[in-house]
Amino acid sequence: MSQYANPDVLVSTDWLAANLNNPGQRIVEISVDPKLYEAGHIPGAVNLNWNTELQDQLRRDIASKETIEHLLSDRGVKSTDTIILYGDHSNWFAAYAFWLLKVYGHQNIKILNGGRAKWLAEESRPLVTDKPAVTTSTYKVSGVDESLRAKLPEVLAAVHGRSANLVDVRSPDEFSGKIIAPPGMNETAQRAGHIPGAKSVPWSTAVKENGEFKSPDELREIYFSRAGVVETKPTIAYCRIGERSSHTWFVLKYLLGLKDVRNYDGSWTEYGNLIGAPIER
Active site residue ranges = 239
Q: List, as one string, the DSSP characters of the chain.
A: -TTSSSGGGEE-HHHHHH-TT-TTEEEEE--SSTHHHHH-B-TT-EE--TTTTSB-SSSSSBPPHHHHHHHHHHTT--TTSEEEEE-SGGGHHHHHHHHHHHHTT---EEEETTHHHIIIIIT----B-SPPP------------GGGB--HHHHHHHHHH--SEEEE-S-HHHHHTS-SS-TTS----SS-SB-TT-EE--GGGGB-TTSPBPPHHHHHIIIIIIS---TTS-EEEE-SSSHHHHHHHHIIIIIS--SSEEE-TTHHHHHTT-TT---B-
In this structure, how many other beta carbons lie within 10 angstroms of the beta carbon of residue 281? Answer: 10
Identify whether the C-beta of residue 147 lies closer than 8 Å to the C-beta of residue 103.
Answer: no
